[in-house]
Amino acid sequence: MTPDAGAPDPGSPPPLARLRAATPPALRYRSFRYFWLGMLASVTGYQVFQFSQLWLAYQLTGSPLSLGYVGLANAIPGIVLNLFGGVYADRLDQRRLIIVTQLITASLIGLLASLTLLALVRPWHLFAIAFSVGAVEAFNQPARQSLYPRLVDRRVLVSAIALNSSIWQGTRIVAPALAGVTIALVGTSAAIYGAAACSALMALVIFFLRVPPVASAPRSSAARGMLEGLAFIWNNRIFTFLIGMTFINSFFGMSYIILMPIFAVDVLQVGAGGQGLLVSVSGVSALATSLWFGSRTGVSHQGFLMIGGAVFFGGLIAAFAVTSQFLGWFPLALAILFLAGFANSLYMVNVQGLLHSLVPDRMRGRVMGFFGMTWSVMPLGGLQSGAIASVLGAPIAVAIGGLAVAAFAVGPALFNPHVRRVDQLLVQREEALAASASGGSSRGES
């Protein structure tokens, strides 16, 4: 008798097992799943908040300078306070620190929403709230970065890092559209209230999250804790290089996004619609690359991928600038930026993977505080690229930024033995942890 065509093959795994096998490795851990969903809500809300406050700034002032002032007000406390945030992430209960900072952020965003709803909002409110949210985030970010690696086994750490990165890349594509539609249909205050609710939702998720305990850093002054973190990074040159890579990426590599209106209008002559495509195409490829990493249990040759990806990214950014200036072919510009997004994600995921894999738990908050500070310099990178562009033109400014990324990656790879043997260091770290492990993992998969 012929078996029913609709019946499952007795030799095939059941549907639940197939679904589990297709799930990214880090998402098989219940605690990380909840954390990741909370982060998705929180980051989406944060991106909607940023879009809405920039929209409000232009509506209130009509001045492009006001947009820069809002961005700078948000960035300055991140540059200054992230170092102290890292100290407190090592010293305090990270779970409680995240809950408190998320609720403060939700309150600040909710205040802006209420001022907007009541038509009381003024430009100085925007600057003050942007500064305050940036200050709170400087304590929230190191705590989040320190907490989530403890929710998974080390063998799937790259998957967790990539999935965490994919949230930022994905929401940069989706959140602005969501904010724009909400503002158009319901109003600006509704969009900002939604952002506040998303931040509060993250606090609720963390409240119910079960987190494995970790020993806190010894009590000392915040300044001493910060100096200890600096000394640790300086004495372990691999961390100096990894954090330096992130700084160069933020200050030089990503500055092309700030100058994209010039390329869209004056160089490629494709207008606002073309500008949107130029920005989003690299985001799409970066997101796809992060999701691919997220599906992997482990990644080999992380050092090679990091150096190669940085050189590839820097070269592509320079090629985008040069070809746009001399050829002016829009499809070629899109193709180059698509590859650049892939290369950027390739090396930045590996930078974060190596940081989290090599740093000891007692120093994780401070190291990730320095790491987070490097992302806050992006507005300053926009200022330097704008200054160069005003003298030499936008294509040359962007080409210089791309070549700076490639040069920084190649230089230490040639002359710094710690960078050349980073994969060896990773193996030694894993062997040391395996030798000191008492057996068994305290993190349960489900």
Class of domain 217-432: mainly alpha
* pLDDT value at residue 407: 92
With the CA atoms of 115, 120, 122 and 126 taken in that order, what torsion angle do they form, in degrees rounded to the nearest 10?
0
- In this structure, the number of other CB atoms found within 10 A of the CB of residue 129 comes to 22
Parts of the chain with a pLDDT under 50: 1-9, 12, 440-442
* pLDDT value at residue 322: 94
Structural domain boundaries in the chain: 25-215, 217-432
Is the backbone of residue 145 left (phi > 0), alpha (psi -120 to 50) or beta? alpha
Cβ within 8 Å of residue 197, ≥6 positions away = 45, 106
Burial of 170 (0-12, 13-18, 19+ CB in 10 A): buried
* pLDDT value at residue 184: 86
Q: Which of 145, 133, 139 is nearest to 87 (CA)?
A: 139
* pLDDT value at residue 334: 92
Domains 25-215 and 217-432 share a fold: yes
* pLDDT value at residue 3: 40
Query: pTM for this one?
Result: 0.77
Class of domain 25-215: mainly alpha
Name residue, tokens 């297709």.
Answer: 22
